[in-house]
Structure 1
């Protein structure tokens, strides 16, 4: 990306969709090192649950290009709503073992409330709008089902329309 996604913000978000793991500390440092305008960093790391010990792996599929574009739209909306000084979103794809990291959101701002709300907003919309599909691979060697969207995720995203 060569220009900010939001015309209202000079921040260029870092958006990656990758199979490789990520380093939370390195990503936080990237947003705050040498910066005097960062007063808060809020991070969220989503992990793969083991679903009661029955899951061997969760396979995440996406459409390359389409996923990054949609995450960019969500990031742009966050940048328009909150005065962020930096933003990183990393979402993994491929087979992910229980306990492994899946998604990272780091929001940087001069003030904590903006960083908290932006990170929360991003996760709500990553869950409902980002084009990823999840398939369970079970410990017994069988393939489970594709994971269905949850109504609670839609309700979480709807609350932002009221703000």
Structure 2
């Protein structure tokens, strides 16, 4: 069986079932797989959204997400993790991101998945532009996303190995 990288940044869509199966088949000790799939909403802050464009810095983005996966492994008793994030122009209702986390038991997988998603929303170097009837505009970070990351003891802007607990 082919090994899948932990991080994939790409314009192509992903298949949740295929990705979950690949993660499970790689390790017989996996008893739980938790997934999060993010999609393009049809509305944002009261405006209709027809599409979203996502940009990133190749190489830098993958390295930043790899570092946070390493931090998740240091914090939680997990056996595997995978993040797929799409870039380019996406239409409303299309999938944007997949976070998969596997562990022996569900509790650690749920916590690590939420931890990784909180990180991605605030720290991963992606830029989002929404197209609405009023025109296209870049999406600003939300203070609620920073608050979600802070509950893990991580300040916004701190995404390296130092984000692990002492």
TM-score bracket, shorter-length normalisation: 0.7 to 0.9
Instruction: Please tell me whether the aligned partners of residues 46 and 102 of structure 1 are also in contact (alpha carbons under 8 angstroms).
Output: yes
Aligned twin of 2:12: 20
Instruction: Please tell me whether the aligned partners of residues 13 and 75 of structure 1 are also in contact (alpha carbons under 8 angstroms).
Output: no
Cα offsets for 1:90-124 (capped at 9, x unmatched)? 01100111100000000000011110000000000
Aligned twin of 2:101: 107
Aligned twin of 1:125: 119
2:153 pairs with 1:161: yes
Q: How has the CA–CA distance of structure 1 residues 112 and 22 changed in structure 2, closer, same or farther, with 3 Å as cutoff?
A: same
Aligned twin of 2:90: 96
Between the aligned partners of 1:118 and 1:135, the Cα distance in structure 2 is: 28
Between the aligned partners of 2:101 and 2:41, the Cα distance in structure 1 is: 24
2:121 pairs with 1:145: no
Between the aligned partners of 1:134 and 1:34, the Cα distance in structure 2 is: 33
Structure 1 runs not aligned, ≥5 long: 1-11
Give TM-score scaled by structure 1 length.
Answer: 0.86
Instruction: Please tell me whether the aligned partners of residues 17 and 90 of structure 1 are also in contact (alpha carbons under 8 angstroms).
Output: yes
Q: How has the CA–CA distance of structure 1 residues 54 and 34 changed in structure 2, closer, same or farther, with 3 Å as cutoff?
A: closer
Once the two structures are TM-superposed, the CA of residue 35 in structure 1 deviates from its matched residue by 3.6
Between the aligned partners of 1:34 and 1:76, the Cα distance in structure 2 is: 18
Instruction: Please tell me whether the aligned partners of residues 42 and 108 of structure 1 are also in contact (alpha carbons under 8 angstroms).
Output: yes
Q: How has the CA–CA distance of structure 1 residues 148 and 53 changed in structure 2, closer, same or farther, with 3 Å as cutoff?
A: closer
Between the aligned partners of 2:47 and 2:14, the Cα distance in structure 1 is: 24
Give TM-score scaled by structure 2 length.
Answer: 0.85
Tell me which stretches of 4 or more aligned residues in structure 1 moved more than 3 Å: none
Aligned twin of 1:77: 71
Query: How many aligned positions are there?
Result: 150
Cα offsets for 1:52-71 (capped at 9, x unmatched)? 67211100010111110110
Structure 2 runs not aligned, ≥5 long: 155-164
RMSD: 1.8
Aligned partner of residue 37 in structure 1, secondary structure? coil
